[in-house]
Amino acid sequence: VRLVESGGGSVQAGGSLRLTCAASQYTAIGSCMAWFRQAPGKEREGVASIDSNGRTEYSHSAKGRFTISHDNAKHILYLQMNSLKPEDTAIYYCALDLVPDAKYCRDGYSRDFGNWGQGTQVTVSS
């Protein structure tokens, strides 16, 4: 599965961005999807995850500000980011795994994903 992110950019603190992750066509009963980010000098961290049944999980820093969603028919994953802070500056990556059933997505973004996008840069200035 090929994943392509878009929607990154530069915004001022308090602003919003919507990231998009378009997946190549696939046929699967279920899918686990997530957004990750990696800031300079830091390890990659999970931001949010969603499964094909719509079950979501958010990191502490994302909760209340970010919303993950997906369009199953179009194979598109979204991350709506509001009230952005300078500490949100990072390269954002989407990840996807195809599974027989959404119950296999219970690890959320702690899952060891096998398919990754190339990343999109988000820069938030103060």
Question: For residues 106 and 108, what is the distance between their CA atoms, to the nearest angstrom?
Answer: 5
The pLDDT of residue 62 is above 80: yes
**Do 122 and 88 contact (CB within 8 A), yes or no?**
yes
Percent of the chain with pLDDT over 90: 89
Under the banding of pLDDT at 50, 70 and 90, the label for residue 25 is confident
pLDDT at 47: 98
pLDDT at 90: 98
- Kindly give, in sequence order, each residue whose CB lies less than 8 Å from that of residue 61, ignoring residues fewer than 6 positions away: 47, 87, 88
**Nearest Cα to 8, choosing from 97, 106, 79, 105?**
79
pLDDT at 19: 98
Under the banding of pLDDT at 50, 70 and 90, the label for residue 39 is very high
pLDDT at 109: 92
| Interstrand relation of 66-71 and 56-58 (parallel, antiparallel or unpaired) | unpaired
Place of tokens 């049944």: 53
**Nearest Cα to 31, choosing from 122, 115, 121, 93?**
115
Question: For residues 120 and 72, what is the distance between their CA atoms, to the nearest angstrom?
Answer: 22
The pLDDT of residue 74 is above 90: no
